[in-house]
Amino acid sequence: MIIFVLITQVAALMKMLKVSYSHKKKQLKSATKKRLEEHKKELQKEELRKLKRHKELRKQVFRTMSKLDMKNKTKLRR
């Protein structure tokens, strides 16, 4: 009888450990997922900043080229 009680107590403890472990595993998985999503958003923001900066640089280059072109045309007319 005592052995049966001990076995049931051990089984209950093992079940509690299993539940605790699975809960911890789920929390870890959700934390990892959240961290990866935040990292992905940060990468997207950085990519958008790069694209915007490149676009502005291209605009500046074309404006400068256009101004030089206009200067050259006015020099040729004189």
Domain that holds residue 78: 46-78
Tell me, yes or no, whether 56 lies in a domain.
yes
pLDDT in tens, 11-55: 999 999 999 999 999 999 999 999 999 999 999 999 999 999 999
pLDDT-based confidence at residue 5 (cuts at 50, 70, 90): confident
| pLDDT beyond 80 at 72 | yes
Q: How many domains does the chain have?
A: 1
Give me the pLDDT at residue 78, please.
65
33-37 contacts at long range (C-beta below 8 A, 24 or more positions apart): none
Confidence (pLDDT) at 39: 98
Task: Specify if 2 maps to a domain.
Answer: no
In a domain, 34, yes or no: no
How far CA 37 is from CA of 7, 19, 33, 34, 42, in Å, comes to 45, 27, 6, 5, 9
User: Is residue 26 situated within a structural domain?
Assistant: no
- What is d(CA 33, CA 67) in angstroms, rounded to the nearest whole number? 51
Q: Which residue has the higher pLDDT, 75 or 43?
A: 43
